[in-house]
């Protein structure tokens, strides 16, 4: 088959209709052959790629969960976003410091109390400007209600144990 190809390839300019149609037929046949080979090669390659990408995404999710559990270990950040505490409930150990991060463009407070009112003997009452953060250390076990004096619907609980 190959030797025939070469012979025909050397005589492409000869105006012999039969030779040309033979050549054309061969070229078509070769093209079909090549296309099939190429197609199967591509499907094999894409199968490999999809396997590879599945493995990659599995690795990524494993890394992500590892990071999440690390963060969970440190765990002591509360975001003030969209006029809400996030999360609205956390549990920390005595002596832990919680960082309250204001992600809003408005100021908030981190105040012991509920529904926008400070507790009578509030142990913390910190104003947090937009984009700023404040750290509060919880030295005594107990459940601490936390609110924002500016936005009565901002409430959360910190459990210290
Ligand atoms: Cu607020």
- Quick: pLDDT tens for 90-148: 999 999 999 999 999 999 999 999 999 999 999 999 999 999 999 999 999 999 999 99
Q: Which domain holds residue 58?
A: 2-72
Model confidence at 158: pLDDT above 70: yes
CA-only gyration radius of the chain, Å: 35
Distances (CA, A) of 24 to 30, 38, 58, 129: 10, 20, 49, 78
The pLDDT assigned to 14 comes to 52
Asked if 153 and 88 sit in the same domain, the reply is: yes
- Mean pLDDT, residues 16-24: 46
Going from the Cα of 26 to the center of ligand 1, the distance in angstroms, rounded, reads 78
- Mean pLDDT, residues 11-21: 50
Of the residues 40, 72, 104, the one at which a domain ends = 72
Model confidence at 89: pLDDT above 70: yes
Asked if 63 and 12 sit in the same domain, the reply is: yes
Going from the Cα of 81 to the center of ligand 1, the distance in angstroms, rounded, reads 9
Of the residues 15, 37, 72, the one at which a domain ends = 72
Going from the Cα of 147 to the center of ligand 1, the distance in angstroms, rounded, reads 8
Asked if 41 and 81 sit in the same domain, the reply is: no
Tell me what percent of the chain is helix, strand and coil, each rounded to the nearest 5: 40, 30, 30
Asked if 65 and 87 sit in the same domain, the reply is: no
């Amino acid at each position: 088959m190959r030797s025939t190809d070469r012979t025909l390839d050397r005589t492409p300019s000869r105006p012999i209709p039969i030779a040309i149609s033979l050549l054309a037929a061969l070229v078509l046949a070769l093209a079909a052959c090549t296309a099939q080979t190429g197609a199967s090669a591509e499907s094999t390659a894409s199968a490999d790629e999809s396997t590879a990408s599945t493995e990659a995404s599995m690795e990524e999710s494993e890394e992500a969960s590892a990071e999440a559990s690390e963060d969970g270990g440190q765990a002591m950040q509360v975001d003030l976003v969209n006029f809400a505490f996030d999360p609205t409930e956390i549990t920390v150990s005595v002596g832990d410091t919680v960082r309250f991060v204001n992600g809003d463009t408005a100021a908030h407070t981190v105040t012991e109390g509920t529904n926008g009112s400070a507790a009578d003997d509030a142990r913390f009452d910190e104003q947090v400007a937009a984009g700023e953060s404040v750290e509060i250390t919880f030295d005594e076990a107990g459940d601490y209600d936390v609110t924002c004096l500016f936005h009565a619907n901002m409430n959360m609980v910190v459990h210290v144990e």
